[in-house]
Structure 1
Amino acid sequence: MKPLTSAIKLSYLKTFLIFMAFMLIFHTGNAQSFQFSGTRQKDVVNFTLIKNLIIIPVYINEKGPFNFILDTGVGPMIISDPSLADSLKIKDLRTIKIAGLGKGNEIEAFVSRSISATVGKSFIDQIPTAILKEDLFRLSSYVGMPIHGLLGYHFFKSFIVEIKYSSKRMIFFVPELNRKIKGERVPLEMINDKPYALINIESSELGKLPLKVLIDNGASHAVSLEILNEKPFPVPGASIPANLGMGLGGPISGNIGRIPSLKIGTFELKKVLTSFPKYDEVAGKILLKDRNGNLGADILSRFDIVFDYADNSMYLRRNSNFKRPFEHDMAGMEVYADGPNIDHYFISRIEPGSPAEISGLEPEDEIAYLNFVPVTTYTLTEINRILRAGDGKSVIITILRKGQLHIKLLKLKQRI
């Protein structure tokens, strides 16, 4: 059992798909689409929502279901669990090398066009697919349940897709159904099979700024700002150093701060948590330079959204989560799930000077009890909620270290 060396943020794990090499391999724009059989025009699928990420059941080559993250930020389908390639006996695999993000080198993946996928009553044959040779994403550990991959562009381009975060339901239908779409229309620009939109931010250092961002509901954070006028995006003075995630090539560092105001369409959000990754670890490695960053699921989940790729648009309606405050980890540590049933919880990283370090917690500690309640009664989402319970609140953590139990008092602190 090897603990994660850093937090996993899906935005950075996926960014390699922006590279033109993948687009040249797959030619995704000319690929087949999902379709219904017979006269069916519409379907509904319930989804699981963890860390603002949408998890849906997908059948691969008529086997499954497998848990996939539905993700506007990916083009080809990604199978992140390499054991699937063996169990499904996938043929016609080709090996490619991909430049990673972070401080490491390139990694290898298989590519295939001999895979079929089924979502609800819809199906697609020969969907372009990337299969990682190693489970670099560690998605199962990140969300606390088995995750096998990510599905994006080919599903969204096939239907008009309505995501109801408020009820955890996805409705998708063919454009010919001519169903009236509710909500405020936000124009999209499709670049390499991914949707981009304009937002506006306002800060004391920069004033008002229009920005172009990737609409990335497969990134659990609120917003990440990487580049401005072909230079690193200015980091606000009121920010803290942070390890922002793992890229395919290693850890990504940077800062976390707050934007006083962010507007998308006519909707305005206040005090938005914002990531500022180091330029040379993210933006400096991306061939596409005409974006400022990406807008993630901590913002998108505050709306019920309709994606209409054929019309280059999405429609937003605020839901009951709209006024939810943006909260950062108040413990200064990251927790991941592991073990045969993904039901053991470990500390992977502790930030210097944080409440976790002050309390005497260490990386690789296994959490046994929270407030004297067995940790096995909690989900990973519930554990993270406890660690964001509020400034000044105390959490009693019992950890297992080298075979011995230790009780630690953790006093939470709002650090940004």
Structure 2
Amino acid sequence: MNSRKPSIHFKIFYVLFICYALVAPDRMFAQDFKFFNGRKAQTIGFDLKKSLIIIPIYINDKGPFDFILDTGVNPMIITDTTLKESLKVPYPRAIKISGYGNFEGIDAFLGATSVKIGDAEAENIPTVFLKDDILPISGFVGKKIYGLIGYNFFNSFVVKVDYTSRVMRFSSHPKKIKLKGEKIPLELIDNKPYVKLRVEQEGLAPQTLKVLVDCGASHAISLEALDAKPFPKPQLTMEANLGNGLTGRVKGRIGRVALLGFGNFTFKDVISSYPEYNIDSLSNRGRNANLGAEILSRFNTIYDYQNRYMYIKKNEKFKRPFEHDMSGIELYAESGPPSRTFINKIEPESAADLVGLKEGDEIISINFKKIDDYSLDDIGAIFKAKNGYSVIVEVWRDKAFIIKLLKLKKRI
């Protein structure tokens, strides 16, 4: 049994943020979504995995395909390498995608597709097809994902995301809509939304930061740059694999900020990522940080790109504590049938390392409940439940079943 997989426990942000360096799509491609059946608005359900919004879409009259809806994406990105041929995309042109630290670039194709979301349709959407399967998003979220879509959809409607009910309502701009929540100014740069945040951190004066709003990033906040230098870290941090991008692993550290202010709302003791990038990459980025879904999902949110505002109203998840994984286990899920879940990485000196769990172990059960009864989100919640909490993990290794008693250990 060859269960070893490439390291893919990435925050979705790190996939996308390198993709932002894509060639700018030709203006002739850009098209808006429209209703052609007399509708002015529509409500559809979405799936929520790792706090990421997953919606079904149709491409060139085929589908449905599950895509991550992401405010940080432009153009649409198809990560499933089999779709380019099956969708019969006319005349895609070969391009190179540049990533930080990668001077040769990544091979991809740029084309145009017709896309349908609910009853809304758009033609000639600029679409990037990755040539190689280098972004295994499906293993991260535990569900087959074909790609990511963002700007063209958000720019076409007023979009309300209700994380509590897991429904999304999108309305044409001429329609009068009651916009509820605190009004936050948006700045669109390169078709991506930015807001101002307040951050207080140990050893640093209070800062007002310019941050990318990225609902396709699973983290809370990623602090990248300050005064064209890497963002200062608090005294207590730990080394972490922050994700995989087009150029490989993104290394860095995880710590906490004492306070994060978003509009009139404040969060305390927030888990924060500090990625390592070279100085040139930081100085050219034009932002300080990336605000992800671990914060955004605590609000029911309305995006109004046309008028340059977003609206936030706290929901039932608002007071959920910020905790990092206490097991030291990085998971990879293979879609089935049968579905299988593997240990992809073990953090040194973590709870899992101390009891002898190993990379490549296939998880069979947790607390005597078979693994098929859990989603990756369920497992994640168990592994960061409480410092000192005991978890019984059964794995398959070398043609034998092994049971380990894992005692969770808070590391940050």
* TM-score w.r.t. length of structure 2: 0.96
User: Could you tell me which of 334, 341, 347 is aligned with 2:343?
Assistant: 347
1:26 is matched by which residue type in structure 2?
A: D
User: Structure 2 unaligned runs (5+)?
Assistant: none
Deviations 1:175-194 (A, max 9, x none): 10021211111111100010
Deviation at 1:145, TM superposition (A): 0.9
Structure 1 unmatched ranges of 5 or more: none
Fraction of identical pairs, as percent: 45
Match of 1:196 among 191, 194, 197: 194
Counterpart of 2:371 in structure 1 is 375
What is the aligned partner in structure 2 of residue 222 from structure 1?
Answer: 220
Q: Deviations over 1:56-113 (max 9, x none)?
A: 0100111111100000010111111011112222221111111224679621111102
Q: CA deviation at 1:207?
A: 2.3
The answer (yes or no) to whether the contact 1:101–1:247 under 8 Å persists in 2 is: no
Q: Which moved more, 1:229-238 or 1:9-18?
A: 9-18
Deviations 1:146-177, CA, capped at 9 Å, x for gaps: 11111100000000000001110100001100
Alignment of 1:135-146 (within 5 A): 135-146=133-144
**Count of paired positions:** 410
The structure with the greater share of residues assigned to helix is: 1
Contact 2:230 2:282 in 1 (8 A): no
Amino acid at match of 2:12: L
Number of the residue aligned with 2:117? 119
AA aligned opposite 1:358: L
- Code of the residue aligned with 1:317 in structure 2: it is K
Hey, what does 1:319 align to over in structure 2?
A: 315
Q: Partner of 1:412 in structure 2?
A: 408
CA distance in 1: counterparts of 2:111 and 2:291, whole angstroms? 30
Are the counterparts in 1 of residues 4 and 344 from structure 2 also a CA contact under 8 Å?
no
Look up the match of 1:235. 233
Q: What is the rounded CA distance, in whole Å, between the counterparts of 1:366 and 1:246 in structure 2?
A: 22
- For normalisation by structure 1, the TM-score amounts to 0.95
Which runs of structure 2 are paired with 1:13-92 in the superposition (5 Å)? Answer: 13-19=15-21, 21-23=22-24, 25-27=25-27, 31-92=30-91
Q: Which amino acid aligns with 1:343?
A: S
Name the aligned partner's letter for residue 31 of structure 2.
Q
Deviations 1:219-240 (A, max 9, x none): 0000000110000111111111
Residue number among 175, 196, 217 corresponding to 2:173 in the alignment? 175
The letter for the 2-side match of 1:335 is L
Contact between 2:14 and 2:245, CA under 8 Å: does it hold in 1?
Answer: yes
The amino acid of 1:42's aligned partner reads A
Q: Distance in 1 between matches of 2:311 and 2:230?
A: 31
Superimposed CA distance per residue, residues 227-257 of structure 1 (whole angstroms, 9 cap, x where no aligned partner):
1000011111111111101011101111101
- AA partner of residue 23 (structure 2): F
Distance 1:284 1:251, change over 3 A: farther
Q: What's 2:130 paired with?
A: 132
What's the counterpart of residue 212 of structure 1? 210
Name the stretch that deviates more: 94-103 or 349-358: 94-103
Give the secondary-structure state (helix, strand or coil) at the position aligned to 2:17. Answer: helix
Shift of residue 342 of structure 1? 6.9
Q: Secondary structure at the match of 1:92?
A: coil
The letter for the 1-side match of 2:14 is: Y
Partner Cα separation in structure 2 for residue 77 and residue 341 of structure 1? 29
Q: Is the 8 A contact 1:8 1:137 kept in 2?
A: no
Q: Residue 381 of structure 2: SS of its match in structure 1?
A: helix
Kindly state the Cα deviation for residue 204 of structure 1 after the two structures are TM-superposed. Answer: 2.7
Q: Secondary structure at the match of 1:357?
A: helix
| Structure 2: distance between partners of 1:102 and 1:405 | 42
Query: Can you list the C-alpha shifts for 1:118-159, whole angstroms capped at 9, x where unaligned?
Result: 000100001000011122221111111111111100000000
**CA RMSD across the alignment:** 1.6
- Contact 1:102/1:252 (<8 A) preserved: no
For residues 73 and 96 of structure 2, the distance between their equivalents in structure 1, rounded to whole angstroms, comes to 17
Distance (whole Å) between structure 1 residues aligned to residue 18 and residue 27 of structure 2: 16
* 8 A contact 1:225–1:294 mirrored in 2: yes
- The structure-2 alpha-carbon separation of the partners of 1:116 and 1:87, relative to structure 1 and needing over 3 Å to count, comes to same
- Deviation of the 1:302 alpha carbon: 0.3
Deviation at 1:26, TM superposition (A): 3.4
Instruction: Give the whole-Å Cα distance in 2 for the aligned partners of 1:389 and 1:252.
Output: 26
Aligned to 2:14: 12
The range that moved more, 42-51 or 88-97, is: 88-97
1:291 to 287, 293, 298: 287
Q: Distance in 1 between matches of 2:173 and 2:377?
A: 36
Question: 331, 349, 357: which is aligned to 1:361?
Answer: 357
Q: Quick one: distance in 1 between partners of 2:130 and 2:142?
A: 20
Q: Which amino acid aligns with 1:33?
A: D
The separation in 2 between residues aligned to 1:192 and 1:245, in whole angstroms, is 23
